[in-house]
Structure 1
Amino acid sequence: MTNPVQHGSDGHIDPAAQEQVPRQRDPEPEGQAPQPVRRDNQLVFSDLTHYPVMAQALDNQWLPTELAEGRQGTNAPRKAPGAVAAASAELRRSLVNSGTLVVNRAFFVNNEALYANFVPQAEPADRNAFAQLLNDRAIVPYLLMERDGTEDFAFAHDVVAGRAWRRLITEESDPGLVRLDWDEEANRAVTDRIGQRFTRQLPGLKWLSPPQLAKDLGIPLDLATSMGSGILQDILHWAGSQDHTANITRNAVYKEFLTRPGTDPHHGLLREGAEIVPTKQLIDLMYNLGLPDASGLVALTPPGSPPRRTLQEDVSPQARAQDPEAIGLLIRNLVADSLHRAVDGPNSYAGLSLADIIALRETGEWNTYVGSLETFLHDSFRGGRIPDPDEFSERAATVARDHARMLRTARRAGRSGEGFAREITTMLVLESGGVALQIASGEEVSLISGTLQMLTAVGGAMTVRLEFWDKAARDRRSGLGHSLTLPTLRLGNLQKDWKTILDVYGGPVVETGRVAPARGGQADQQARHG
């Protein structure tokens, strides 16, 4: 007998009751071939019923815009300063905003934001928490063609991380492993269709509307226009000249158009040119939507990168008339992307440890919030239907309200029981050309990364960010803060303009040559361009 659902005083389903009511699976098509016998930990995507998502920011090629621009200079360091911290923040944001986070197996060994939690030098608390997230199936590795999580890696990866990964999943945890299909032929067919989709969509980037592209990428209209007649047109012609019997890979696009000559894509070094970073963002976005769309999962795009709507996918009434279910699902995905980007900034949970995340996921507030996401983004759009305006408004408002309650709980978790008494410090951070200057209230000015001698007399972007952080939590992993990124400025001459900035300041500057310590969990907002 099914247990009755208990409603709370505010009309919500109580978290304990929610856990007894898993999401209804879509019916299997009649006449479908039976699935091969699977072990308990061999999953397919329909087994994931607790609001499953995939996060673009865990792709080892992902970088926020300002960090990607720093990979174009000839003096760019081997590792992008701040990249691991940014991806680690996104890992936490994704774990808070999902019931199940599906992660490509490759990323566990080529993305430091992931493997830093289980390599030998990791803190024991982090390693234990990461193992628990795997055991709880809060994190589920995705296998492309492998049948086991320990198979050899046929790509560039961190060797130490590879050994640690095998130990983690054989000795310290028992994770679920998900594939599109455990039948080899069926799995190969679906993965091939994902590659075909990328191959077909690639030439279409040339036809994106420049005004909308400029808005979504945060670039000048003239740059968006020149991309259409320049690099995106070159990609169209190049794609047309490729072997039509094979799919085009992202790696091939990187090597031909984006990666600095003489280096490999995994080095993360980019060619110079204003069009390179926005083109990379388009390629990465399109690539990272393939698997979530094929599996029916929600794709989380990071707030520091372009939203899904940047690809200008067709949701017109004409398109819906041709395939209402597919367009209904696409609209669901666009709504989900906009919703997640609206409620959280890129660093909303960066100050939480993985143990904090686990504790948060056990609270009633978190369960209610994820239940609201599930109800809205899966149930309301089931089978390609689109909720009517009243239902849409009501459920979106419920998600926002439940998120606010959950966020208050997250802040308490991040403060480790110390309450909300805060001494707030304000900092101005200027970043351009691999050089960053921080000006904190009550402290001396610091040149925190790069050196002025490395700058060249060329133009470049300057990012201006205001940070507000809890002084008591400054050097801790717990504690939540806030930041505001202002519209990007353009410098005509990096070397000269930086010198002018320092001359105007006139005070002493301490050159530390290191990146500023990560502030505890800033909830970041991007200021709108005027």
Structure 2
Amino acid sequence: MAEQQLIFKDLSRYPVMAQALDNQWLPGDLAATRQRANAPAGRSPDHVGAAAAELRRALVNSGTLVVNRAYFINNQAVSVNYLPSADPEERQAFIDLLNGRALVPFLYSERDPGAEFAWTNVPQVHRAWQRLLTDEAEPALVRFDWDDEANREATERINQFFSSSLTTLMRLREAPLSKHLDIGLAQARALKEGILTDMARWATQQDLYATITREAVYKEFLTRPGTEVHEGLLREGEHIVAAKQLVDLLYNLGVPKASGVTALTPPGSPPRTTLQELRDDVRSRPDDPEQIGLLLRDVFADALHRAVDGPRSYGSLSLSDITRLRTTEEWNGYVNSLDSFVRGSFRDGRVPTPEEFRAGTGDVARLHRGMLKAARKVSGSQQGFQREMKVALVLESAGIALQVTAGEEVSLLAGSLQMATALAGALSVRLEFFDREGRGARSGLGHSLTLPSLQLRNVRKDWEEILKSYGGRVVETGASPRRGQADQQSPHV
């Protein structure tokens, strides 16, 4: 298999790594459900479905999708495609993607893609993966280096990046945290002064000559006591989900930063800019112009993908659809434009001129639209992609807001009921429509309909009656619902 042994410099067709294929990844709204006392161990169908849609998104938006070898085994959204029970056409499409170097397994330290894992929790899946490699698939494999000593040095730098960067999380500024984690400023401050400071203090107390693993961080701060990390059960606490999102984002940047491939964050998770890497006190070499240029490239690439492609779900595209799409002129033109702009314009740390920015982003957006039309044509469902919309009812009055979202068990209450007055006041009623994967109103892609206001005679008493009549589970937050959507005023009730 020597001809299949690659290093990252050999990946010439817009290579990316997708955070959503991490077996610990969960969209924020689903992550909160893992804190419930009655949450079952393992991944729910919703979790698997979200990751499966992101697998398809990554295959559409890359020339080469690099996937940690472990995720082929421990991520059900990936393994379901090659198990003997898989749909034969989909299974063959998955094999074709492997053999065609659209999917490339990344080997961290091992040399054999079928090697045993000490931690394997799904031995039957591992055996199916080994049979696939033996009988049907011969994928290209990528490592930092096929010289074991050189590879060990590269992976050690990744380990050190995660270990040392844990202490920087407590220094993140509150306003960006509030924006990207969708929490209030007070919550962002409490997050910094609480669990993130505890993580930093704990990290400095660890063995100086041993690396800190993400699993160790999970066990110490995030995983429910008495359970295993792979079971995906989280501790109670209002900052647990936000801290998990930051730890996962940091962890998933290690290999892309060291290899130069583009890291894609999924729309249902915080963007890369959440980590504020461009700040002088966060960068490892604050005066290195090339490092600044490459950081700009990486942060911009993530923002570009989220802006152009973020609001769409690819859950309705089959892998067979994707293999057909990847043969079209429209898809090839789109991916070539990404490669030319993101990797070409920022080559060796240079920063494109404003004119190059306008031309490059314009080309990407235009060719992306053409690619979507091609996706509809090749799709067996004739959809190509779909937008998954949610509807929320928002009641607001005197600094208090109740948001009830269709299909969710928990509603959000912003503001303090105890601080409400006994005076009269207006109650506004608004319907919000937003993309499930666009993180609500902050995506700027939603729409709202405001109905005529109602008059409350006693704000505090009437709010108590509203909550009593609603009867559902309500969680208090520090942030009011954001109004980033296009709003329409209704003349009728």
Between 209-218 and 96-105, the greater mean CA deviation after superposition: 209-218
Q: Residue 321 and residue 156 in structure 1: after superposition, are their counterparts in 2 closer, same or farther (change >3 A)?
A: closer
8 Å Cα contact 1:87-1:113 kept in structure 2: yes
User: Which of 260, 263, 270 is the matching residue for 2:224?
Assistant: 260
User: Which of 82, 106, 109 is the matching residue for 1:145?
Assistant: 109
CA distance in 2, matches of 1:47, 1:85: 32
Specify the SS of the correspondent of 2:200.
helix
**2:172 aligned partner, one-letter code:** L
CA distance in 1, matches of 2:169, 2:384: 49
8 Å Cα contact 1:145-1:188 kept in structure 2: yes
Find the counterpart in structure 1 of residue 324 from structure 2. Answer: 359
Confirm or deny that 1:379 pairs with 2:354: no
Shift of 1:416: 5.0
Confirm or deny that 1:278 pairs with 2:242: yes
Shift of 1:345: 2.7
CA distance in 1, matches of 2:483, 2:326: 30
The alignment of Structure 1 onto Structure 2 pairs a total of residues equal to 429
Please give the residue correspondences for 1:282-321 in structure 2 after superposition, counting only pairs within 5 Å.
282-314=246-278
Specify the SS of the correspondent of 1:109.
helix
Q: Residue 101 and residue 123 in structure 1: after superposition, are their counterparts in 2 closer, same or farther (change >3 A)?
A: same
Please give the residue correspondences for 1:182-331 in structure 2 after superposition, counting only pairs within 5 Å.
182-314=146-278, 322-331=287-296
Shift of 1:268: 0.5
CA distance in 2, matches of 1:187, 1:305: 31
User: 1:214-253 CA distances to partner (integer Å, 9 max, x unpaired)?
Assistant: 1111111111001111111111111111001111111111
8 Å Cα contact 1:315-1:327 kept in structure 2: no
CA distance in 2, matches of 1:316, 1:262: 40
User: Which of 400, 412, 415 is the matching residue for 2:377?
Assistant: 412
CA distance in 1, matches of 2:194, 2:383: 55
CA distance in 2, matches of 1:395, 1:183: 38
User: 1:107-145 CA distances to partner (integer Å, 9 max, x unpaired)?
Assistant: 011111000101121111111010000000000000011
CA distance in 2, matches of 1:179, 1:45: 7
CA distance in 2, matches of 1:362, 1:47: 21
Specify the SS of the correspondent of 1:322.
coil
Please give the residue correspondences for 1:513-524 in structure 2 after superposition, counting only pairs within 5 Å.
none
**2:357 aligned partner, one-letter code:** F
Between 157-166 and 129-138, the greater mean CA deviation after superposition: 157-166
**1:197 aligned partner, one-letter code:** F
**1:335 aligned partner, one-letter code:** F
**1:354 aligned partner, one-letter code:** L
User: 1:283-311 CA distances to partner (integer Å, 9 max, x unpaired)?
Assistant: 00000000011001000000100000000
8 Å Cα contact 1:67-1:81 kept in structure 2: no
Q: Residue 216 and residue 429 in structure 1: after superposition, are their counterparts in 2 closer, same or farther (change >3 A)?
A: closer
Q: Residue 332 and residue 302 in structure 1: after superposition, are their counterparts in 2 closer, same or farther (change >3 A)?
A: same
Percent identity of equivalent pairs: 52
Shift of 1:279: 0.5
CA distance in 2, matches of 1:232, 1:64: 20
CA distance in 1, matches of 2:344, 2:61: 17
Specify the SS of the correspondent of 1:117.
coil
User: Which of 48, 59, 71 is the matching residue for 2:34?
Assistant: 71
Shift of 1:363: 0.2
Please give the residue correspondences for 1:468-483 in structure 2 after superposition, counting only pairs within 5 Å.
none
Q: Residue 417 and residue 337 in structure 1: after superposition, are their counterparts in 2 closer, same or farther (change >3 A)?
A: closer
Q: Residue 218 and residue 317 in structure 1: after superposition, are their counterparts in 2 closer, same or farther (change >3 A)?
A: closer
8 Å Cα contact 1:71-1:80 kept in structure 2: no
Specify the SS of the correspondent of 1:103.
strand
**1:46 aligned partner, one-letter code:** K
Find the counterpart in structure 2 of residue 160 from structure 1. Answer: 124
Listed as ranges, the gaps of 5+ residues in structure 1 are 1-37, 431-435, 439-447, 469-480, 489-495, 504-525
CA distance in 2, matches of 1:327, 1:483: 28
Specify the SS of the correspondent of 2:50.
helix
Shift of 1:501: 4.0
Specify the SS of the correspondent of 2:13.
coil
8 Å Cα contact 2:168-2:282 kept in structure 1: no
User: 1:158-185 CA distances to partner (integer Å, 9 max, x unpaired)?
Assistant: 2221111111122111100110110010
**1:414 aligned partner, one-letter code:** S
Q: Residue 482 and residue 271 in structure 1: after superposition, are their counterparts in 2 closer, same or farther (change >3 A)?
A: closer
8 Å Cα contact 1:484-1:527 kept in structure 2: no
TM-score w.r.t. the length of structure 2 is 0.80
Q: Residue 102 and residue 273 in structure 1: after superposition, are their counterparts in 2 closer, same or farther (change >3 A)?
A: same
Q: Residue 161 and residue 373 in structure 1: after superposition, are their counterparts in 2 closer, same or farther (change >3 A)?
A: same
User: 1:439-459 CA distances to partner (integer Å, 9 max, x unpaired)?
Assistant: xxxxxxxxx798xxxx9x998
CA distance in 2, matches of 1:458, 1:398: 41
Q: Residue 382 and residue 262 in structure 1: after superposition, are their counterparts in 2 closer, same or farther (change >3 A)?
A: same
Specify the SS of the correspondent of 1:82.
helix
Find the counterpart in structure 1 of residue 4 from structure 2. Answer: 41
8 Å Cα contact 1:70-1:80 kept in structure 2: no
CA distance in 1, matches of 2:389, 2:359: 37
Find the counterpart in structure 1 of residue 16 from structure 2. Answer: 53
**2:77 aligned partner, one-letter code:** A
Shift of 1:327: 1.3
CA distance in 2, matches of 1:206, 1:330: 21
Find the counterpart in structure 2 of residue 118 from structure 1. Answer: 82
Aligned-CA RMSD value: 3.3
Q: Residue 467 and residue 232 in structure 1: after superposition, are their counterparts in 2 closer, same or farther (change >3 A)?
A: closer
Structure 1 stretches of 4+ with a deviation exceeding 3 A read 315-321, 415-420, 424-430, 457-460, 464-468, 481-488, 496-503, 526-530
8 Å Cα contact 2:267-2:439 kept in structure 1: no
Shift of 1:409: 1.1
CA distance in 1, matches of 2:128, 2:282: 51
Specify the SS of the correspondent of 1:325.
helix
**1:133 aligned partner, one-letter code:** L
Please give the residue correspondences for 1:477-516 in structure 2 after superposition, counting only pairs within 5 Å.
485-486=440-441, 500-501=469-470
CA distance in 1, matches of 2:73, 2:173: 38
Listed as ranges, the gaps of 5+ residues in structure 2 are 394-403, 415-430, 444-464, 473-481, 487-493
Q: Residue 527 and residue 102 in structure 1: after superposition, are their counterparts in 2 closer, same or farther (change >3 A)?
A: farther
8 Å Cα contact 1:156-1:266 kept in structure 2: no
Confirm or deny that 1:335 pairs with 2:300: yes
